[in-house]
A = this chain, B = another copy of it.
Amino acid sequence: MDILVPFSITDPKSRLQSILDTEERKRFAMVMLTDVCAQIVDAGYAPTILATEEIDVEVDTIIDERPLSEAVNAHVSDNTAVVMADLALVRSKDLQAIFEIDAEIVIAPGLGGGTNVLVIRHPDFSVDYHGTSYLDHLRMANKCGASVHTVDSFRLAIDIDEPTDLAEVLIHSDRAPAKLLQEFGITLSSENGRVTVTRSH
């Protein structure tokens, strides 16, 4: 099984700019990427990073400058999983479980209708990560006549894009991304409503 981890170098995690500067966001994105790849290795699989340009990591990397969906579609084989690089809560056992599900299309939806993990075992299926990609991928699977399984997982649903997502990392993880947020001085804040984060320095 091929495991692709797409990663864009240009202005990573831009929606965290209210709390992290450009260099910090780059560092945080790289730490999440490395951590996700380590979980894939622990699950017994070999990840391949699909990057927009050369990056300094100890993981096999394919360079493809095209937009996300185009690049992924160009590198899908007859049994491929696409795992987002910012799934800071994912554990190797969650990946093992989803990779072993017997369906032609397996989807772990993200918050807001995204697609966080996608297993593709049907020749006519193609990805489209724009907008409500979870619904688009369900429609595409039905159009192909492919069997579909949606995974109900909180850990796979949380991709790290917004400041509120950082709270989930601090609450549910003690791995490298959580440690880096602590180093940045980011802590939980529960003034109004749902818990989010604040920054001390």
Contact = CB atoms under 8 A, between A and B. Distances in A.
A132 interface: yes
Interface string A159-201: 0011010011001100000000000000010100111100000
A131 B193 CA distance: 8
A85 to B, nearest CB: 16
A131 B167 CA distance: 12
Contacts of A131: 190, 195
A73 to B, nearest CB: 20
Contact of A167 (B112, B153, B155): B112
Nearest to A134: B171
A148 to B, nearest CB: 14
Given A113-B188, A153-B153, A188-B113, A135 B171 contact: yes
A interface, size bucket: 20 to 34
A112 B196 CA distance: 6
Interface string A123-140: 000000001101100000
Total copies of the chain:
2
Contact of A132 (B135, B161, B190): B190
Q: Which of A15, A111, A114, A156 has most chain B Cβ within 10 Å? A: A111
Interface string A91-132: 000100000000000000101111000000000000000011
A194 B114 CA distance: 8
8 contacts: A112-B167, A112-B196, A113-B168, A113-B190, A132-B190, A132-B195, A152-B153, A154-B154
Interface of A: 15, 94, 109, 111-114, 131-132, 134-135, 152-157, 161-162, 164, 167-168, 171-172, 188, 190, 193-196
